[in-house]
Structure 1
């Protein structure tokens, strides 16, 4: 940062450090221009870093200059930060660390060498980049300045052995890395404090060579902030915005230091998409920031980036021995230090890296040994399928693709209209068939539609003595309008009392059903073939407007429900063997009471499969870990 006194707040000296951890998001993987061996190494990751996890972290460290200030230097806070990143890499899934410049106070060989030695703590543990700030080189120069102590210590040779490093500008002051995280590649641009026109052309060339990679731009000087944390572009930041950022939709996050206080803003690029611009700098804080880091936790499942800021050096100390100022600076919780950003990564990246949905899988690929029945609603299951919103007429047959003859026949309830059951191409992303049925059931007056097996179908009397797996894909509409409490998703007809069961809520309810409570909890209630019992599984409140995969798995002893491959909490420990079927039809779209249907299901249902033994989540219709 500038050392000249000036009335303009943009020219004041901004002080020490911070760090950033950014877990990534995304869907479709993109190629990069590295040698095949380097690319393979980056994809595998190192140590325990999980390149496939939808949650990971990127650490950013700016303005450490007061820790490397002539004979006042004290690198121990930074060593503590690096020890933390190394020790926590596996647990926090830390992909990378990038420094935002002003490594040292004066840029002397002595300061630079001490800093370079401190950074060796990370070598071989966490890949990283370092860019020059105005205190590391002659501040009056741009990236064409030639040799410097900084370039000798932190030039391209330093990163050559890192699996993420892809190259540097000819002058050596700008570099880029490609990370493999969250199942895709990410581009990190580390740009000098003053990028020349030549450097800007180089950076554009890097983006052009990696057109499908989401990019994070790091530099020393990009924005400054008011005391309320509202950031705005600096003069150099405006040049970067106009010449590089706004025209490249790939750049969704730009990080800088140099100024304080920290701040953030959201700008709109030429593609009408958000670009998040952040200042991260804590050198004005106690002990020059004490190696403060900022963790940006990217969570692709929740579509959010969670940010937190703290000092590992203070955190590592005995609480009873922390100095008062250390105790109050361990963690910062202000609105510019601890916050969350909502980002739909697939939507944000769709212009340059659209998600390529998986192709439909044939029925033969998803029928393991013991498949009793498998129904899907594309042309393989319904020959007349294909027109979105078209009614599926009464009498339509949905074939059982297992070959066991458990075909389903469509009928409407209570003289319901044609729109009670319609066809749709909508489907869960992981569903084998790209089709579903939309049920428009409801209460008062009762309406809906059902799909039922024929009176002689083998499934009607299947007892499942060795266990079972029942799977289906379900989507509840958004908005979820009307009263649909206790609507059925699938069931077997018949009264449990007729099967000799005496323990349940009512002898008039069916022997097996999957339903939805008024709180949108899934309820799977079963009257076992062998026990006089009614063990019931309850889920959490399930979402609306989003497809989910539901699986009920019985191993011949107990039953477990899964939602999106995750075991729910409220699974009964009560013994449960088989299903007390009565030779009556299996039904999709409703649940009987006293052998009468009331309301039908309200929502969409996709592929449904029944297997005569327990399957693990990795063998579900859409595989889960």
Structure 2
């Protein structure tokens, strides 16, 4: 049987690997491969290792493209545990040598089933004992009896622990496992064993007798263990338990030996995405996938990819929050202004003590309060409230984007019907008011829209230069009454950046996707003197115009944060939080942004 074709993993998940050579340990996206009971593929004279060979070829060939960190077998490698079956399985596993690190643990069919991990020698131990894993960089060690092992994986820029425990762990084995966790107190842990849980036909799982022993003797009181995996029983299932620290432990049962061709080497991929804070799980059989669609028998077609709620699903895990009890993320210190003012910075404002004297979280900003331009270039901002707005429309806040240099922001509570809000604006004679930026520019800010997003806030302004585009001689835009440059939020929460260039009679406009509420966003507008590109979180948006755009047709009127004029009048103000804002008189790359993106 040929190897699986070189293609994306099922479901289209294809994280970036470490180049053409192999695994990227620092990528925030990686996968853990899980291989349950393979016993019917190693069953006396009816053995057929071909499906498992195809699985191993798939893992080796997709190690880089799938960023596969490790493979964990869940026990019952063989049907009878005979030397013949064990040796055939051992040779088959040799296909992973120097390609993908892995662990194997004993199931009840691999050893005398009435024994625990103190059973002594066995053909299984000879073939799958600690000596097999010792050459792997991931191997951490084994219990004195050799039947329990632990493995330390570096993935997602951190280390993870995997415990591979015998099908029947003795008291001595539990003590060993507790000591391993004590020696690695900050490592998130995946526990694998053979007999952990069983499930009903709907996939609702509950702990087995041995699983209960592991829960009470190990898992419950060790917050590091966030995922526990077992095989042995079928059908597959899953549940979530609450440990002694009050945190979730995901308990999963995976076993496909009852399906066509003894499971056909079916594997499960746990695709960790530390950015999205999810684990996407999918289950498929590379041996069946490798056949051309037209030549697959009916049962192969039915079993090549499983899509039930216990075989294909996603787990939402805020990893920093879940691991905070044993591996808290150290707080990132604010960065001083001097570190974030590169050459050609013409204005930089922040709302901590560096730029705004006085005030504390939740306290309204005084009318007339001054936010200093930390470049010393004379572009200080002064606060004022619009219309008859009360003090609560502009408030100090400790909230901030995790990558923002200053750990502070301002909370604006603008809105329509009636118009209300607040703005910060430069003085009438500030140098920024008249700058044309014909050699290019970068404008950056941080915003967060509230959740829930309540009220009417369509076309509210984030920042702008005041004045009528018509007064700058611009005639091609939507209206001669709109300002010459503004960044706004539409009713659908799309960003709109519209600029009337200094040189062209045009209004090239960038549009983003809909912004998620309740989340901080870093926004960068970059112009290289020829065209403008809008970035959100370091990612270039789709709807950037190719129209030529050179400079900004400023009119000598104030630059403003918190609103956009129409007919030289402010209506509603911004609704949400605004953080550090910086203007540089040249195009910056994402690696130079206020929060750098590699």
For this structure pair, what is the TM-score category when the shorter chain's length is used for normalisation? over 0.9
Partner of 2:5: none
Partner of 1:30: none
Secondary structure (helix, strand or coil) at the match of 2:226 reads strand
Q: Determine if the alignment matches structure 1 residue 254 to structure 2 residue 259.
A: no
Partner of 2:97: 123
- Structure-2 separation of matches of 1:490 and 1:361: 23
- Structure-1 separation of matches of 2:19 and 2:119: 35
2:271 pairs with one of 276, 297, 309: 297
Q: CA deviation at 1:48?
A: 2.8
What is the TM-score of this pair, normalised by structure 2?
0.96
Partner of 1:359: 333
Q: 1:47 to 1:202 in 2, by over 3 A?
A: farther
8 A Cα contact 2:464 2:561, kept in partner: yes
Q: CA deviation at 1:201?
A: 0.3
Secondary structure (helix, strand or coil) at the match of 2:70 reads strand
1:516 pairs with one of 469, 489, 497: 489
Partner of 1:345: 319
- Structure-2 separation of matches of 1:20 and 1:592: 50
Secondary structure (helix, strand or coil) at the match of 1:340 reads strand
- Structure-2 separation of matches of 1:610 and 1:214: 41
8 A Cα contact 2:535 2:541, kept in partner: yes
Deviations 1:157-182 (A, max 9, x none): 11112111111111111111111111
Partner of 1:436: 409
Q: CA deviation at 1:46?
A: 11
1:496 pairs with one of 469, 473, 496: 469
Q: CA deviation at 1:309?
A: 1.0
Secondary structure (helix, strand or coil) at the match of 2:412 reads strand
Quick check: 337-346 or 403-412, which moved more? 337-346
- Structure-2 separation of matches of 1:518 and 1:302: 26
Q: 1:292 to 1:172 in 2, by over 3 A?
A: same
Q: CA deviation at 1:415?
A: 2.5
Deviations 1:490-511 (A, max 9, x none): 0000000000001000000000
Q: Determine if the alignment matches structure 1 residue 475 to structure 2 residue 453.
A: no
8 A Cα contact 1:476 1:602, kept in partner: yes
- Structure-2 separation of matches of 1:502 and 1:45: 50
Partner of 1:306: 280
Where structure 1 has 5 or more consecutive residues not aligned to the other structure, the ranges are 1-18, 24-43
2:388 pairs with one of 415, 418, 438: 415
Q: Determine if the alignment matches structure 1 residue 203 to structure 2 residue 177.
A: yes
8 A Cα contact 1:475 1:605, kept in partner: yes
Deviations 1:513-539 (A, max 9, x none): 000000000000000011100000000
Partner of 2:572: 599
- Structure-2 separation of matches of 1:62 and 1:537: 50
1:323 pairs with one of 290, 297, 311: 297
Secondary structure (helix, strand or coil) at the match of 2:31 reads strand
Deviations 1:56-96 (A, max 9, x none): 10001111111111111111100100110111111111111
Quick check: 301-310 or 404-413, which moved more? 301-310
8 A Cα contact 1:20 1:59, kept in partner: no
Q: Determine if the alignment matches structure 1 residue 104 to structure 2 residue 104.
A: no
Q: Determine if the alignment matches structure 1 residue 148 to structure 2 residue 107.
A: no
Q: How does 1:67-466 map to 2 (within 5 A)?
A: 67-385=41-359, 387-466=360-439
Secondary structure (helix, strand or coil) at the match of 1:90 reads coil
Q: CA deviation at 1:547?
A: 0.7
Q: 1:535 to 1:46 in 2, by over 3 A?
A: closer
Q: CA deviation at 1:45?
A: 11
1:608 pairs with one of 552, 571, 581: 581
Secondary structure (helix, strand or coil) at the match of 2:64 reads helix
Where structure 2 has 5 or more consecutive residues not aligned to the other structure, the ranges are 1-8
Deviations 1:129-170 (A, max 9, x none): 000111111111111111111111111111112111111111
- Structure-1 separation of matches of 2:533 and 2:467: 23
Secondary structure (helix, strand or coil) at the match of 1:605 reads strand
8 A Cα contact 1:96 1:127, kept in partner: yes
Secondary structure (helix, strand or coil) at the match of 2:560 reads strand
1:64 pairs with one of 24, 38, 44: 38
- Structure-2 separation of matches of 1:426 and 1:239: 44
What is the TM-score of this pair, normalised by structure 1?
0.92
8 A Cα contact 1:509 1:592, kept in partner: yes
Quick check: 560-569 or 336-345, which moved more? 336-345
8 A Cα contact 2:20 2:64, kept in partner: no
Matched residues, number: 585
8 A Cα contact 2:19 2:64, kept in partner: no
Q: CA deviation at 1:51?
A: 1.9
8 A Cα contact 1:310 1:330, kept in partner: yes
Secondary structure (helix, strand or coil) at the match of 1:466 reads coil
Q: 1:102 to 1:46 in 2, by over 3 A?
A: farther
- Structure-1 separation of matches of 2:536 and 2:36: 42
1:505 pairs with one of 460, 474, 478: 478
